[in-house]
């Protein structure tokens, strides 16, 4: 009679996580690693950059890497929102929790990218590694990604994870909202009132791309509708046209940033996709009745 070997739950989790990361890195070539709930490495280093290999070879930097992996994972798990963040070395990462049978086993941390997108917050104080010539050489070889590409990668990893751990996570388990300086926002109330899936997808796309040059054509291409049909459906569902909604979303985001940061109005304007600050100020006053400067003075914490 053949002998049967039964794996422990921890070994089964590690085996499934290994399969997830192999598929993910083969498909995307983006680095990832599995860490436990203390941030300690529990897997091989998949597609690690030379820069991150170097940083983790130095005990002082390695401990900060562990802290970033842990904090990033816990933030995602706590807020149920997958948002990219900058680690102590300035690279962009994101984290997907691994939950099996109602037990949190750790996090798959992916990234090791460069992005200058201002929506990505710093997780910890930056480490002064730039004086090390070897580190600087490796850093210059780190791949650059756009914000949209980073968010797409995080969705791919979350979907793969959901396939192996279906009862703990689904592809909709983590929200993907544009990060704000003032904290996470919730769009659940608004989305719950939208009956058409095409318009729901349109709204989510707009909220995730507020800094981009949003147009009827680009959005229609994204949701696979003609421009005229999308315009008609959107007006019926939302009681306003597409551009009015885009401006409304940008103004709401502007209100949060003005009230919770010292970022200049010029920088906020660019961050929200406006090429001219004067036009942002005009739209802001049109929707709020106040200029951005007056709003900040009145509501800033």
111 and 210 share a domain?
no
Q: Where residue 40 sits, what CATH number does that domain have?
A: 3.30.450
CA-to-CA distance for 151 and 125, rounded, in angstroms? 23
193 and 149 share a domain?
no
Average pLDDT per block of 10 residues along the chain, 301 residues long: 62 92 95 91 94 92 90 81 87 93 90 86 82 90 92 91 69 48 44 80 90 91 90 90 93 89 90 92 91 85 49
pTM score, two decimals? 0.58
Q: Quote the pLDDT of residue 5.
A: 56
21 and 160 share a domain?
yes
Q: Is residue 52 part of a domain?
A: yes
234 and 292 share a domain?
yes
Q: How many domains does the chain have?
A: 2
Q: Quote the pLDDT of residue 189.
A: 52
158 and 192 share a domain?
no
16 and 97 share a domain?
yes
Structural domain harbouring 86? 9-164
Helix (H) or strand (E) holding 31: strand 31-35
29 and 98 share a domain?
yes
């Amino acid at each position: 009679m053949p002998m049967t070997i039964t794996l422990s739950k921890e070994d089964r989790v590690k085996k499934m996580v290994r399969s997830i990361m192999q598929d993910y890195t083969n498909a995307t070539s983006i680095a990832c690693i599995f860490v436990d709930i203390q941030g300690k490495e529990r897997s091989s280093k998949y597609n690690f950059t030379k820069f991150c290999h170097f940083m983790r070879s130095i005990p002082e930097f390695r401990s900060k890497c562990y802290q970033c992996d842990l904090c990033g994972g816990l933030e995602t798990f706590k807020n149920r929102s997958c948002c990219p963040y900058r680690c102590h070395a300035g690279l962009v990462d994101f984290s997907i929790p691994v939950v099996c049978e109602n037990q949190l086993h750790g996090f798959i941390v992916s990234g090791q990218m460069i992005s200058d997108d201002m929506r990505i917050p710093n997780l910890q104080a930056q480490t002064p590694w730039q004086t090390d010539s070897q580190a600087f050489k490796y850093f210059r070889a780190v791949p650059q990604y756009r914000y949209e590409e980073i968010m797409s990668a995080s969705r791919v990893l979350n979907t793969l994870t959901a396939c192996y751990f279906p009862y703990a996570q689904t592809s909709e388990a983590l929200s993907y909202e544009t990060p704000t300086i003032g904290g996470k926002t919730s769009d659940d109330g608004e989305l719950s009132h939208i009956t058409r899936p095409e318009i729901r997808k349109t709204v989510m796309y707009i909220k995730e791309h507020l800094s981009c040059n949003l147009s009827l054509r680009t959005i229609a291409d994204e949701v696979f509708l003609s421009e005229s049909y999308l315009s008609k459906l959107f007006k019926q569902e939302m009681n306003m046209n597409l551009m009015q909604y885009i401006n409304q979303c940008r103004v709401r985001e502007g209100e949060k940033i003005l009230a919770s940061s010292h970022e200049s109005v010029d920088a906020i304007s660019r961050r929200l996709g406006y090429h001219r600050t004067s036009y942002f100020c005009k739209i802001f006053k049109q929707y709020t009745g106040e200029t951005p400067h007056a709003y900040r003075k009145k509501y800033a914490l």
